[in-house]
Chain A
């Protein structure tokens, strides 16, 4: 674990904005972990806001909906931060935004019906991995603890914090619904100590029993990175350890990100699919870093064209995600996806580092939250000794980046890990 300068100021104190009239939207069929969705619209079709445009395909997969009333103008490969190019639906927006009415019979819904809604509305984990939520909420094992992740440990990003500041009640209603599905004995709301104002509010809710959440408590953790990683978070809050080959449900836990809870609330109460999310736009290459509600599929290009964002000088590096785990982009054509928490635009803070020889200082080993030996991966990959990678549990690596952050020799350890993982898999 490492302590990193937060860079969250000032955007985390500024109220979020909304941008809901894009001209064009680009929706890749894979915005989630698992199989890509299968397109169920023809080119030229007219669709309403919230209408299904790509169907869940297989068990671990998720539906995709039209974020605006629009016309499907094309189905073509388009920019995707993780896959380079990916088949995408191109929508030309034609209609005004829809308004949503509250569903009246929420209290009467059975857990199965709630799960069904979550599945049909295409909800996925919004903390980054984008794992389909309906799968996560149907664990094959007994769950006693539900952990709500409000840590947002990546520097710069503050979308989750803004969401908790502005929509805490809705988040709690979402948590209520999740509790009805998984029936935990205990719910832990985990926050970092830079968000203790939120913790106070939740404690207040909990003391007056405002929500029907069993055993609700807050845990305020130290602001270290990667405090919000599933395994680290479960250990910090419950002292249960999960090895690299196990899942949270193996120790009776489920972790849900706050934005996902909010999406569950919207899906159930408003009948609204996951078509919009709060995204952090930050970094020193932006005139004014801020958090914006945007429709899924909106491209960066459009946000700049419409003057929602503006550059302060030429950006040197654009990153989808946070600075520790995000991926660099080569242009502005990339769209916001369901799992996108933020974009980072770096100018002065984008530096090129030259790799130096490893001085065996062990700093990477000291900081690795999975207790691994990252320097070994770099050495083995360089010497092509792929067979030994598994001996050092390379697959346990969560690619958090702590090791490469701290390495005084600037060795791109995560890069070596990623390469190593490919060969280690091929080896087995």
Chain B
């Protein structure tokens, strides 16, 4: 009778890392569906390119590093899909490939692979593309009219020509923007799924959106001409970033206190960029910036031992 010898505990919760990552993919289904609905074959094409390049790169890296492949853990799929959803519909195929390569190689594996990366890989990929192809990454098209008419996003319209997009269109997603960032409805549905299944911690979305609300309320109070709270909540990459990037366990603080700080800080920085900088949107930079602060936040927010 060969018996297993192992350390306690002998029971484990069902949710393991592949399960957690798979749930993120599941939660992204509505946003993905919306992107395909609004941007048609462009969306299908870019998503397929990003995911397959991501998986392939990861596979080759594991081969080279002679480590057991963790392709089955879905994390490469999450990275590829998330990156695709942040791309403008008219992104060229070579840019999509380069961005994904950069996300996986530099964003993830240069730092040591799953769990040790400091920055969110998808955002690193996107930041790279922003630097390499600034024009392409800021050229947006109207839904359903891909490859033809270029158009400004609601945030740029509001910022540079003071024209407000109707909230209903923002909520549904029928506006110009990155593939998966336009439909607030679908992103919120997926985000709530993550929170309800306890895959993501609610503290970061709460504090992030909370601080966005507070800052935009103050801004509106100071100057009536500023866009409304709802406009800020529903536009740009805020919701996708909040629910799917700022909740990435690897690159955000460990303790609950730290997560509040991370969320609140991100929210404020996003609004500062939206109001005071030359850029229409600041979600990506804010999250990346706070990713870099995460080790510091961790150091100053350890959990206080019971009774001490």
Binding site for B on A (CB under 8 A): 2, 4, 155, 231, 235, 241-244, 246, 314-319, 323-332, 344, 346, 349-353, 356-362, 365-366, 368-373, 375, 392-393, 396, 399, 401, 404-410, 412, 414-415, 418
Chain B residues with Cβ below 8 Å from A412 are: 6-7
A360 to B201 Cα, complex, angstroms: 12
A358-B115 contact in complex given A324-B10, A346-B10, A393-B308, C-beta closer than 8 Å? yes
A351 to B256 Cα, complex, angstroms: 31
Which of B151-159, B237-245, B269-277, B297-305 lies at the interface? B297-305
A370-B17 contact in complex given A359-B249, A359-B250, C-beta closer than 8 Å? no
B50 at the interface (CB under 8 A from A): no
Check A241 against B255 for contact (C-beta < 8 Å). no
Chain B residues with Cβ below 8 Å from A326 are: 8, 10
A373-B254 contact in complex given A243-B306, A350-B4, A414-B8, C-beta closer than 8 Å? yes
Check B15 against A370 for contact (C-beta < 8 Å). no
- Name the residue on A nearest B116 (C-beta): A357
B307 at the interface (CB under 8 A from A): yes
> Could you give, for residues 109-121 of chain B, a 1 whenever the CB lies within 8 Å of some chain A CB and a 0 otherwise?
0000111100000
A406 to B199 Cα, complex, angstroms: 12
Closest-CB distance, B26 to chain A (whole angstroms): 16
Chain B residues with Cβ below 8 Å from A361 are: 20, 249-250
Chain B residues with Cβ below 8 Å from A362 are: 201, 249, 253-256, 259
Closest-CB distance, B234 to chain A (whole angstroms): 29
Check B303 against A324 for contact (C-beta < 8 Å). no
Check B16 against A356 for contact (C-beta < 8 Å). yes
B11 at the interface (CB under 8 A from A): yes
Chain B residues with Cβ below 8 Å from A372 are: 303, 305
Chain A residues with Cβ below 8 Å from B201 are: 362
Check B305 against A405 for contact (C-beta < 8 Å). no
B222 at the interface (CB under 8 A from A): no
Check A331 against B8 for contact (C-beta < 8 Å). no
Check B7 against A244 for contact (C-beta < 8 Å). no
Check B17 against A396 for contact (C-beta < 8 Å). no
A118 to B15 Cα, complex, angstroms: 47
> Could you give, for residues 224-249 of chain B, a 1 whenever the CB lies within 8 Å of some chain A CB and a 0 otherwise?
00000000000000000000000001
Check B255 against A365 for contact (C-beta < 8 Å). yes
Chain A residues with Cβ below 8 Å from B66 are: none
- Name the residue on A nearest B115 (C-beta): A357
A274 to B4 Cα, complex, angstroms: 32
Chain B residues with Cβ below 8 Å from A349 are: 11
A360-B11 contact in complex given A317-B3, A331-B3, A370-B305, C-beta closer than 8 Å? no
A-B contact pairs, 10 of them (CB 8 A): A243-B306, A315-B1, A328-B6, A332-B1, A353-B12, A359-B114, A393-B305, A401-B9, A404-B12, A405-B13
A242 to B305 Cα, complex, angstroms: 10
Chain A residues with Cβ below 8 Å from B20 are: 359, 361, 408
Question: Chain A CB within 10 Å — which of B9, B201, B252, B255 has the most?
Answer: B9
Grouping DSSP codes into helix (H, G, I), strand (E, B) and loop, the A interface class, with mixed when no group exceeds half, is loop
B93 at the interface (CB under 8 A from A): no
Question: Chain A CB within 10 Å — which of B1, B10, B256, B304 has the most?
Answer: B10
A349 to B6 Cα, complex, angstroms: 14
Chain B interface size band reads: 35 or more
In the complex, chain B residues 276-308 whose Cβ is within 8 Å of any chain A Cβ: 302-308
- Give me the 9 closest cross-chain CB pairs, A-B, nearest first: A401-B9, A243-B307, A361-B249, A357-B115, A415-B7, A241-B307, A362-B254, A324-B9, A243-B308
Closest-CB distance, B69 to chain A (whole angstroms): 12
Check B306 against A371 for contact (C-beta < 8 Å). yes
Closest-CB distance, A378 to chain B (whole angstroms): 11
Chain A residues with Cβ below 8 Å from B255 are: 362, 365, 373
Check B10 against A356 for contact (C-beta < 8 Å). no
Check A409 against B17 for contact (C-beta < 8 Å). yes
A242 to B303 Cα, complex, angstroms: 16
Closest-CB distance, A414 to chain B (whole angstroms): 6
A344 to B11 Cα, complex, angstroms: 12
Closest-CB distance, A63 to chain B (whole angstroms): 29
A315, A332, A370, A404: the one contacting B306 at CB < 8 Å is A370
A314, A319, A352, A366: the one contacting B256 at CB < 8 Å is A366
A360-B303 contact in complex given A317-B6, A327-B8, A330-B3, C-beta closer than 8 Å? no
Question: Chain A CB within 10 Å — which of B8, B16, B303, B304 has the most?
Answer: B8
A329, A351, A370: the one contacting B12 at CB < 8 Å is A351
A324, A329, A369, A371: the one contacting B8 at CB < 8 Å is A324
- Name the residue on B nearest A401 (C-beta): B9
B5 at the interface (CB under 8 A from A): yes
Check A356 against B70 for contact (C-beta < 8 Å). yes
- Name the residue on A nearest B15 (C-beta): A408
Check B16 against A408 for contact (C-beta < 8 Å). yes
A358 to B116 Cα, complex, angstroms: 8
Check B7 against A155 for contact (C-beta < 8 Å). no
Check B306 against A241 for contact (C-beta < 8 Å). yes
In the complex, chain B residues 1-35 whose Cβ is within 8 Å of any chain A Cβ: 1, 3-13, 15-17, 19-20
- Name the residue on A nearest B20 (C-beta): A408
- Name the residue on A nearest B298 (C-beta): A360
- Name the residue on B nearest A241 (C-beta): B307
Check B1 against A314 for contact (C-beta < 8 Å). yes
B12, B17, B256, B304: the one contacting A356 at CB < 8 Å is B17
Closest-CB distance, A234 to chain B (whole angstroms): 10
Check A373 against B302 for contact (C-beta < 8 Å). yes
> Could you give, for residues 181-218 of chain B, a 1 whenever the CB lies within 8 Å of some chain A CB and a 0 otherwise?
00000000000000000000100000000000000000
Check A409 against B8 for contact (C-beta < 8 Å). no
Check B3 against A324 for contact (C-beta < 8 Å). no
Check B115 against A359 for contact (C-beta < 8 Å). yes
A332 to B3 Cα, complex, angstroms: 10
A1 to B140 Cα, complex, angstroms: 49
- Name the residue on A nearest B19 (C-beta): A408
A312 to B188 Cα, complex, angstroms: 49
Known: A244-B308, A350-B4. 8 other contacts (CB 8 A): A244-B307, A358-B115, A361-B249, A366-B256, A393-B308, A399-B8, A408-B17, A418-B7
